[in-house]
Each structure stands twice: as structure tokens, then as C-alpha cells.
Chains A and B, each alone.
Chain A
Amino acid sequence: MSPPVLEARGVTKSFGDLEVLSGIDLQVAEHQAVAIIGASGSGKSTLLRCIDLLVEIDDGDVFLDGQVITDPSVDPVSVRRRLALVFQAYNLFPHLTAQQNIVLGDRYAHGATKEEAAERARRLLDRFGLAGRENEHPEDLSGGQQQRVAIARAFAGRPRAMLLDEVTSALDPELVGEVLEAIRDLKHEGVTMLIATHEMSFAREVADLVGFLHEGRIIELGPPDQVLVDPERPETKRFLRRLLEAGRI
């Protein structure tokens, strides 16, 4: 059997005296979508940033296609070229157009020619409902459109797995749907995904597995119908009840 696309083993990370991740064990198999839920500040973003090597972990290991990527001898650039991270705040490049945002990585990180990259960028924009917006700058796009450009930019590198960090949290409620549609589309294509999210209904729909991150550990992991409907751990129950009371489910 082939190894999982992504695997974390005992990953720990502290910022100063604050231990954010206290031993994360997690596997994401090919074509699988795994959603991580948890309170704000529980370390969901940190976990994704550690996997993309934007943050150096303290202990443990992360594997990509069975190869360790958290060894100091591994070139982080080559790892990031095989992964993609979409940010909560989009982080589009404001001085570039929508199309140029997508082309940049394809050309300089993946060696595509100008024409190849432009053609791929146009197809991706079209696919995510942004045909005709190629030459607009991020400031002229709505939040939902910006996030779809960001998803296209991440996907343009043909990643082995996509890491989605609260990609709808910064959006106005009426714009959430169009971004979730884009992710649903990726899921249908079988893209391997690790998703940090607040959107319980979305996690339930798209994720094959849901993990609950609490006090630096994934304390419950299972199919969404179990974790989100009938959790075993009292902490998970409490978290879901609070979301329910806040009208977030």
C-alpha cells in the first residue's frame, strides 16, 4: 500500500513558553480531505504552517509521500513546490493582476514558459468563475473573488496536497458559498486536502475525516457523521454545543 500523502508524527511547536502543538499525529491519504476543527487559537493555522515549512517545528516529523520533509537537510523550497497553502487573508500580491498572481509561481517555481503559465492561469480563472477578470488587480475584486484567485494560484503549482487555512473566515457571509463551491470542485477532482475550518456544515459535506484539535493534540478523529454528530469526547461535545449556541452550525 502506498504511504499517505501527508503524515505528521508527534509534531510539537512552542512559541516562547506557549506550547501550541503538543504532539500531533495525523495522516492524509491520497484523494482524501481531512478537516481540522478547533477553537480559535487552538493551533490549526500553526499546524498548516509547520507542514508547509513556513514555521520550523520543535520535535516530531512530517512526511510527504513517505519522505521526511522536516529534516534540516531537506530544501524547504522543493517541499513548498509540492504543496500549496491558501491563507485566511488571501495574501494576493496587490501589485499584480489576477492572472499575474497565478503565473508568478508557475513560471519561477515550476519553470513553465510565459505562454504555458498564462494559458494555465486563464483556464484556472475560468474554472473558478473568474473569466474576464484576468487583468484586474486584487483591490478591484470582492473578497470571495480574491480568495478564488488565491485558490487558483495555489492550485496552479499542481500540488500533491492543498493546505487550506480558514479560507472563508475573512469573508462576508454571502461570499462564503462561492469559495466553498471552488473547494467542492477540487474535492470532486480528487485533490488531497488538509483543511482548517470553522464551517461545520462544509466539513461535514467535503471531509472524509474530521479531527478535533484541542490543547495541542488531535483528541478525536473520525468520519464527520461521527465526530460532528455523535462525538465521543466531552471536549468535542462542549465545543460543538458552543458553536450551536452561537448559531455557527
Chain B
Amino acid sequence: MTASEATVGRRAARQAAKRRRARRGQAIAAVSSVIVIGGLATLALTSPGWPNVRDTFFSWSAFKDSFPDILSAFWIDVKLFMVVEVAVLILGLVVALIRTSRAPALFPLRLLAAVFVDFFRGVPVILLIYLVGFGIPALELSGLPSDPLVLGGIALTLSYSAYVGEVYRAGIGSIHRGQRDAALAIGLTEGQALRHVIVPQAVRRVGPPLLNDFIALQKDVALVAILGVVEAFRQAQIIASSTFEYTPLLAAALLYLCVTVPLARILDRMGWGGRAQP
């Protein structure tokens, strides 16, 4: 046997071994999935309360009856999400730019921005919605909004701008100093350097954490229900309390998932979600 024949033989053996390992891995994954999922399902299905849960949470007829109303209410969530998101992207950037500025004249603004972030990031969103939603109309000043949807949107904008502002700020801080040097060296002003060199790079870099915050916001819009806005969650609650059926709540949950899961997949697809394995 020549040396090259021996090499070919080993190559075939190695490939066979690799296939065996892959098959064994798949088998183990399949068996453990059956055991874990089957075990959990058995636990639920054999629990004493299961027949009750099945009737109140998984009723197909209740789902069919309630779904159209919940879907139309869900558009309020989607619209609110989109408007608030745009406002957050702008206000967050403004907060970040103020906080990263260095001009002495901007000191009062910097202080204000720091307090803004500390306060709105530090207060629970649900509490903030209460405070804005009931506090602003109580001032009885003309010209201030009184629509609970608008007030809820303002509260969400304030809270998420504080988060997103910090995300932007981290992005701006992560751009290498050499970029600012180069921008100034070609004769740009500090403002032009920010606008054309620093901010475009920072925004690209913070895409993943921004999208992560979008997903959180898409769920938190449901909190405006506490001001009486009839959006998907509130609509489901109304139906549930009149029929003693909880299936509508499940229908609402499904709708939120319909938006958040694709967003999460976009995040993965962009290579931003970290390595995920099914």
C-alpha cells in the first residue's frame, strides 16, 4: 500500500466517523426533546385543573368570536408603537448629543439631560403612565393634551428616550478618537464632525441594542390600557370579564408575538442577536 492510498483510506474513515457523530448528536437531541416536552405536556394535561384551563384558555369558538375585535384594537397598539418609536429615536439622540457635548455654555442643558435620564429611567413605566396620564389633565391648563392615548404615548416616549439616549451615548463613546481627529484635520467643525462622521457610525453600531429596545416598547404600549385606552390587551380583558373566558387574552398575546418575533428574527438575521441555535 502506498502512502497516498493510506491517506485516502483515513480520509474516508474520518468522514464516516464525522457522520456517525452527527447522527448520534441528532438522536440525542430528539430523545431529550421528547422527554422534556412530553414530560411538561403530561404534567399539564394530567393536572387536576386541566379540563377547566382547557375550556377557559383554549376555546376555539371563543377565540373566533373575540379575535376580530381584538385585532382592530391591536391597530391602536401598532400605531402608538410607530409614533412613539420615531419620537424616541429623535428625542433619545438629542439627549445623547447634549450629554456628550463639551461646550461650557451647554452645561445647564447637560445637567438637565442627566437629570432627565436618571428620572425617567428610574421610575417604573407603569407609574410614569399614571403620573402623566392623570397628572397633566389635572393641571387644567388649556392647550395641554387630554387624550389618554396621547398622554400614554408621551409617558412612553419619555421613559424610552432615557434608555435609548444612553444607548446612543454608548455608541458615540465607542467611536475611536482617531475618527474625530481625522474629521477635524480635514477642516470640519466639531458639529460637522458629529453630523457626518461620529453619529452615522455610532447609530450603525448600536443597531442591535436599539432594536432590542423596540421589541420591549412594542410590548409596553399595552400599558396605556391603565388610562382607559381600549387597545388589544384592554379589549381582551373586557371580553374576558363579560364571558368569563380567558381565551381572548391568549389571542391578544398571539398578536403581540406576531410583531415581536419577526423583529427578533430580523435582529438574529443581522447577526446582532448573538449566536442562537434552535
Q: Which residues of A are interface residues toward B (Cβ below 8 A)?
A: 49, 52, 54, 76-77, 80-81, 83-85, 87, 89, 91-95, 104-105, 108-110, 153-154, 156-157
Q: Is the interface of B mostly helix, strand, loop or mixed?
A: helix
Which 7 pairs, one residue from A and one from B, show the smallest C-beta to C-beta distance?
Answer: A109-B187, A105-B186, A81-B187, A91-B182, A91-B178, A85-B185, A80-B187
A95 touches B201 (CB 8 A): yes
Distance of A87 Cα from B176 Cα, bound (Å):
13
B186 touches A153 (CB 8 A): yes
Chain A contacts of B59 at CB under 8 A?
none
Chain A contacts of B201 at CB under 8 A?
93-95
B10 on the interface (CB 8 Å rule)?
A: no
Q: How far, in Å, is B262 (CB) from chain A's closest CB?
A: 27
29 contacts between A and B (CB under 8 A): A52-B185, A54-B181, A54-B184, A54-B185, A77-B184, A77-B187, A77-B188, A80-B187, A81-B187, A85-B185, A87-B182, A91-B181, A93-B179, A93-B182, A93-B197, A93-B201, A94-B201, A95-B201, A105-B188, A108-B187, A108-B192, A109-B186, A109-B187, A109-B188, A109-B192, A110-B187, A154-B186, A157-B186, A157-B187
Q: How far, in Å, is B201 (CB) from chain A's closest CB?
A: 5
Q: Report B173-212 CB contacts with A as 1/0, cut-off 8 Å.
A: 0001011011111111100100011001100100000000
Nearest opposing residue in chain B for A76, CB measure = B184
Chain A contacts of B184 at CB under 8 A?
54, 76-77, 80
Chain A contacts of B179 at CB under 8 A?
91, 93
Chain A contacts of B176 at CB under 8 A?
91
Distance of A105 Cα from B189 Cα, bound (Å):
10
Nearest opposing residue in chain A for B189, CB measure = A77
**Considering residues B178, B179, B186, B197, which has the most beta carbons from chain A within 10 angstroms of its beta carbon?**
B186
**Considering residues B176, B183, B185, B197, which has the most beta carbons from chain A within 10 angstroms of its beta carbon?**
B185
Chain B contacts of A52 at CB under 8 A?
185
Q: How far, in Å, is B91 (CB) from chain A's closest CB?
A: 24
Chain A contacts of B181 at CB under 8 A?
49, 54, 87, 91
Knowing A87-B182, A89-B178, A108-B196, the reply to whether A95 touches B188 (Cβ < 8 A) is: no
Knowing A93-B197, A94-B201, A95-B204, the reply to whether A108 touches B188 (Cβ < 8 A) is: yes
Q: Which residues of B are interface residues toward A (Cβ below 8 A)?
A: 176, 178-179, 181-189, 192, 196-197, 200-201, 204
Chain B contacts of A84 at CB under 8 A?
185-186
Q: How far, in Å, is B95 (CB) from chain A's closest CB?
A: 23
B196: contacting residue among A91, A104, A153, CB under 8 A = A104
Nearest opposing residue in chain A for B195, CB measure = A108
Distance of A84 Cα from B201 Cα, bound (Å):
23
Distance of A109 Cα from B193 Cα, bound (Å):
11
Nearest opposing residue in chain B for A85, CB measure = B185
Task: A77-B184, A93-B201 given; name 11 further pairs at CB < 8 Å.
Answer: A54-B181, A77-B189, A80-B184, A81-B187, A87-B182, A93-B182, A105-B186, A105-B188, A108-B188, A157-B186, A157-B187
A95 touches B192 (CB 8 A): no
Chain A contacts of B192 at CB under 8 A?
108-109
Q: How far, in Å, is A97 (CB) from chain B's closest CB?
A: 13
Q: How far, in Å, is B272 (CB) from chain A's closest CB?
A: 17
Chain B contacts of A110 at CB under 8 A?
187
Q: How far, in Å, is B114 (CB) from chain A's closest CB?
A: 27
Distance of A89 Cα from B184 Cα, bound (Å):
16
Q: How far, in Å, is A56 (CB) from chain B's closest CB?
A: 13
Q: How far, in Å, is A55 (CB) from chain B's closest CB?
A: 10
Q: How far, in Å, is A64 (CB) from chain B's closest CB?
A: 14
Distance of A164 Cα from B200 Cα, bound (Å):
27
Nearest opposing residue in chain A for B181, CB measure = A54
Chain A contacts of B178 at CB under 8 A?
87, 89, 91
Q: How far, in Å, is A183 (CB) from chain B's closest CB?
A: 17
Nearest opposing residue in chain A for B178, CB measure = A91
Q: How far, in Å, is B134 (CB) from chain A's closest CB?
A: 45
B186: contacting residue among A49, A89, A94, A104, CB under 8 A = A104
Q: How far, in Å, is A199 (CB) from chain B's closest CB?
A: 22
Q: How far, in Å, is B69 (CB) from chain A's closest CB?
A: 47
Q: How far, in Å, is A47 (CB) from chain B's closest CB?
A: 15
Chain A contacts of B197 at CB under 8 A?
93, 104
Chain A contacts of B196 at CB under 8 A?
104, 108
Distance of A108 Cα from B197 Cα, bound (Å):
12
Q: How far, in Å, is B189 (CB) from chain A's closest CB?
A: 5
Distance of A87 Cα from B204 Cα, bound (Å):
24
A104 touches B188 (CB 8 A): yes
Distance of A77 Cα from B187 Cα, bound (Å):
6
Chain A contacts of B188 at CB under 8 A?
77, 104-105, 108-109
